[in-house]
Amino acid sequence: MINGMFIDPKDCVVTLAAAATPGDKVCYVDEGVRKEVEVLDAIPIYHKMAVKPVAKGGRVIKYGELIGIASQDIIPGQHVHTHNVEEPERG
């Protein structure tokens, strides 16, 4: 069951097609390859979960583009939202 939506190969997050709780498995497809990550947080439907680590200050990528800056270290399986991502500086 594919329950994680992975949009672009550069992305570090998937969007969940169903709510998840710690211990659940999120499956997604990355360029034809099925991948699986264990969920670490309670995550509502359509929210984001990390599938790649992002260090504090690193770029959070969705849609293949920058959507924010990690305000703390993020590891795969964690909920990615306003508590650990901030707006990027405008150029």
Partner 1 sequence: MTEFYGYRRADGRPGIRNYVLILPTSVCASDVANIIASQVDGAVSFHNQVGCSQVTSDLEMSFDFEVGFAANPNVYAVVLVSLGCEGCQCDEVADRIAKRTSKPVAKVIIQEARGTLRAVELGVRYAKQFAAEASMMQKEKFPITELLMATECGGSDPTSGLAANNVIGALSDRLVDEGAATILSETPEFIGGEHLLAERAVTPEVHDKVLNIVHRYEESVRNACGEDIRSGNPTPGNKAGGITTLEEKSLGCIHKGGSRPITEVYDYAKEIPAEQRGLVIMDTPGNDPSSMTGMAAGGAQVCVFSTGRGTALGNPIMPVIKITGNADTFDKMEDNIDFDASRYIKGTHTIEELRDELYNVLVETCCGKQTKSEALGINEIAVMRTCNYV
List of residues contacting partner 1 (CB under 8 A): 1-3, 5, 7, 15, 17, 44-48, 62-63, 65-68, 80-82, 85-88, 91
In angstroms, give the least distance from the CB of 22 to partner 1.
18
In angstroms, give the least distance from the CB of 38 to partner 1.
19
The angle at the Cα of 66, spanning 64 to 70, to the nearest 5 degrees, equals 120
Q: Which is nearer to partner 1, 16 or 76 (CB)?
A: 16
Q: Which is nearer to partner 1, 23 or 90 (CB)?
A: 90
Is the separation of the CB atoms in 39 and 67 below 8 Å? no
Q: Which helix (H) or strand (E) element contains residue 20?
A: none
